[in-house]
Amino acid sequence: MTSPSCFEPLVKANTFASLPSDFYTRLPTTPLTAPRLVHASAEVAAVLGLPTEALDTQEFLDVVSGTKPMPGGDTMAAVYSGHQFGVWAGQLGDGRAHLLGEIQGPDGSFEVQLKGAGMTPYSRMGDGRAVLRSSVREYLASHAMRGLGIPTTQALSLVSARNPVRRETLETAAVVARVAPSFIRFGSFEHWAARRRPDLLRVLADYVIDRFYPECRDESHSSTAADTRISDDTSTVGDISTTGDTTTAKDYEPYVQLLRAVVRRTATLMASWQVVGFCHGVMNTDNMSILGVTLDYGPYGFMDGFDAKHICNHTDSGGRYAWHAQPAVAHWNLYQLANSLHEIVPETEPLKAALDEYEACFLGAMQARMSQKLGLSTWQAGDETLIDDLWSLMQASHADFTLTFRQLAYAPGLTQASQEQIERDLGGTVNANLLPFVDLFVDRAGAQAWLSRYSARLCSDPTQHWQERVAGMLAVNPLYVLRNHIAQQAIEAAEKGDFSEVERQYELLRDPFQARAGLEAYAAAPPAGAPHLEVSCSS
């Protein structure tokens, strides 16, 4: 007798499959040789409604390794296009991703996707595989982001196999199972705009609105401006000022509202990235989620020493995706999305107006987050300068991004309490081996002078008691981020078959705000003289 399937009761009809077959290709995954489970996330399983016991079953390993299809599922790869490094790249698509099906979890439905489970019609020159190194990085990064409360695709499991995979050197294959309500990208829209298929573009936009942005049908705004082309970028989809389409103003309004909603979510996402020093590395339009979640972890990096021009991706020699450029790049990407929607929105002004909301939304989100990071309960005149001056000091000293904000809560002179008292009262025993705030700066005098100004500013903060302020700061300024040299330890151990370091980092990153005794090394900057790790698009 076969044991009951843990997936089958949860799997529902794959909603993405209700789209016309132009959007995807049905095909099976290609099994790996002797797959082994490196890690599975009980937390993400719970999001899907999968019991923890299911993670130890053969059925689970079979499904998340791509050995067998998900019972009740419908395996397929999706097509999309995109701009890569600012250049129109034409058709891309799920070259090594398979959508297995959709699961109805307790709080919503999620698509389950495998990355690295074999070739698809969209693989182009690729082999359809992912290596263990990059899969460990994707797995841990998505948990790090989840722990930080940043919207992201979520990794359910990581599987390793013996199959050799050729990159710069010979490596071994791995598969990450990841979940999200949808994996639709800006590039999914660009695809149909470039092909001059307003019919399919409208089907896609309606699908996204109905499933994820139903409020876009409620709001009504007038759209009156003359029809002029919104992009001066002729590399995209040509002049689409006359679509020959019969859409009426009433019909297209939801698409304008969709753009507005995506603009807002993307702006907020950028602020969340910026304030933890996260660099995505490959912000191509095909890696931008229409839901505003972090998508496709490749050569990303959490900054160690602060440098606004930090480039995490070795392949990005021009610094297009440097930390300071990310918010503007997201706006550029949204511009491409707007340009695509122009195929079904005959007027440009409403699209422009939606795009114009980006800056205020981003700045508002930054201001809210920076005040929290500094423990300011109000926003006062002079705060912007105070914060800008902190960035400048950090830049001049390449002060550690994460520790600067974390250690600010403990800086002496800001409260009557000693550091020991703060640690005792607010939990955690971590600081002993980490540099205090001022010592993070080469310009210690400058840092001290800034602290005096900050201290004076705190005196004018109306209501807060210091304990409330410090507790608030420790709840938003992480102690642990997935630094490259830390992830590298997990990779090297995993490549030797030791998965305990993946487990340790997973546990740490689940709650990156909580200090753990004995794990100071995970919070520290890379040791001086440590080899520089180069991370590239090779994955």
Contact 395, 306 (CB under 8 A): yes
The one among 296, 304, 316, 501 contacting ligand AMP by CB under 6 A = 296
Rounded least distance, CB 426 to ligand AMP, Å: 41
Q: Rounded to an integer, what distance in angstroms lies between the CA atom of residue 535 and that of residue 299?
A: 5
Does 299 participate in binding ligand AMP (rule CB under 6 A)?
no
Chosen residue from 95, 149, 364, 446 binding ligand AMP by CB under 6 A: 95
The one-character DSSP state at 102 is E
Give the other-Cβ count within 10 Å of 184's Cβ: 24
Residue 181 contact partner, candidates ligand AMP, Mg ion, none, CB within 5 to 8 A by sort of partner: none
Site for ligand AMP (CB under 6 A): which residue of 11, 92, 399, 414? 92
Stretch that binds ligand AMP, among 92-100, 273-281, 448-456, 488-496 (CB under 6 A): 92-100
Residue number, 296 or 304, with CB nearest to Mg ion: 296
Name the nearest CA neighbour of 138 among 478, 491, 500: 491
Region class of 525: left (phi > 0), else alpha (psi between -120 and 50), else beta: beta
Cα–Cα distance, 266 to 253 (Å, whole number) = 20
Q: Which of residues 236-275 bind ligand AMP (CB under 6 A)?
A: none
Q: Please select the residue that binds Mg ion; options are 102, 138, 296, 343, rule is CB under 5 A.
A: 296
Compute how many residues bind ligand AMP; rule: CB under 6 A.
Answer: 17
CB neighbourhood size of 427 (10 A): 13
Contact indicator for 378, 386 with CB cutoff of 8 Å: no
Name which of residues 223 to 242 contact Mg ion (CB under 5 A).
none
Measured between its terminal Cα atoms, the distance across the chain in Å is 41
Among 103, 282, 370, 491, binds ligand AMP (CB under 6 A): 282
Task: Name the minimum Å distance from CB 126 to ligand AMP.
Answer: 2
268-287 residues in contact with Mg ion (CB under 5 A) are: 287
Cross-strand partners of 115:
97, 176
Q: How far apart are CA 240 and CA 157, in angstroms?
A: 43
Q: Which residues are catalytic?
A: 286
For tokens 């705009």, the residue is: 193
Q: How far is the CB of 186 from ligand AMP (least distance, A)?
A: 12
Element (DSSP H or E) covering residue 108: strand 108-115
Minimum distance from residue 234 beta carbon to ligand AMP (Å): 23
Q: Quick one: which segment of 94-102, 196-204, 216-224, 496-504 binds ligand AMP (CB under 6 A)?
A: 94-102
Q: Give the C-alpha separation, 200 to 18, whole Å.
A: 13
* Binding-site partner at residue 93 among Mg ion, ligand AMP, none, CB < 5 to 8 Å by type: ligand AMP
Minimum distance from CB of 290 to ligand AMP (Å)? 15
Q: Measured from the CB atom, is 135 or 268 closer to ligand AMP?
A: 135
Q: Taking a C-beta distance cutoff of 8 angstroms, is the pair 195, 126 a contact?
A: no
Task: Report the alpha-carbon distance of residue 265 to residue 259 in Å, rounded.
Answer: 10
Q: If you count DSSP H runs as helices and E runs as strands, how many of each does the chain have, helices first? A: 15, 13
Cβ at position 460, least distance to ligand AMP in Å: 47
Amino acid present at 87: V
**Smallest distance from ligand AMP to CB 121, Å:** 11
| Partner whose footprint covers residue 128, from Mg ion, ligand AMP, none (CB < 5 to 8 Å by kind) | ligand AMP
Per-residue string for binding with ligand AMP, 97-136, x by CB under 6 A?
Answer: -------------------------xx--xxxx-------
Minimum Å distance from CB 429 to ligand AMP?
41
Buried b (16+ CB within 10 A) or exposed e, 460-499: eeeeeeeeebbbbbbebbbbbbbbbebbbbbbebbeeeeb
Q: Select the binding partner of residue 126 from ligand AMP, Mg ion, none (C-beta < 5 to 8 A, by kind).
A: ligand AMP
Q: Which of 73, 298, 346, 350 binds ligand AMP (CB under 6 A)?
A: 298
Cβ-count burial 390-424 (b if 16+ within 10 Å, e if not): beebbeebbbbbbbbbbbbbbbeebbebebeebbe
The rounded distance, in Å, linking the Cα atoms of 29 and 292 is 28
Q: Which is nearer to ligand AMP, 127 or 520 (CB)?
A: 127
Residue 96 binds ligand AMP (CB under 6 A): yes
Q: Which residue is nearest to Mg ion (CB)?
A: 296
Q: Which CB atom, from 129 or from 469, has the smaller least distance to ligand AMP?
A: 129
Under the criterion CB under 6 A, does residue 509 sit at the interface with ligand AMP?
no
Q: What's 400's DSSP letter? A: B
Minimum CB–partner distance for residue 478 and ligand AMP (Å): 26
Q: Among residue numbers 333 through 362, which ones bind ligand AMP (CB under 6 A)?
A: none
Q: Which listed residue (94, 171, 253, 343) binds ligand AMP by CB under 6 A?
A: 94
**CA 450, CA 374: separation in Å to the nearest integer?**
13
Tell me how far apart the 2 most distant CA atoms of the chain are, in Å: 74
Nearer to Mg ion, 296 or 400 (CB): 296
287 binds ligand AMP (CB under 6 A): yes
The amino acid occupying position 356 is D
464 interacts with ligand AMP by CB under 6 A: no
Residues 36-95 that bind Mg ion (CB under 5 A): none
| C-beta closer to Mg ion: residue 102 or 296 | 296
Q: Which does 94 bind (CB under 5 to 8 A by kind): ligand AMP, Mg ion, none?
A: ligand AMP
Q: How many CA atoms lie within 13 A of 444 on its CB side?
A: 6
Helix H or strand E segment including 466? helix 466-476
Residue 93 binds ligand AMP, judged by CB under 6 A: yes
Task: Give the residues lining the site for Mg ion (CB under 5 A).
Answer: 287, 296
Task: Give the residues lining the site for ligand AMP (CB under 6 A).
Answer: 92-96, 122-123, 126-129, 282, 286-287, 296, 298, 537
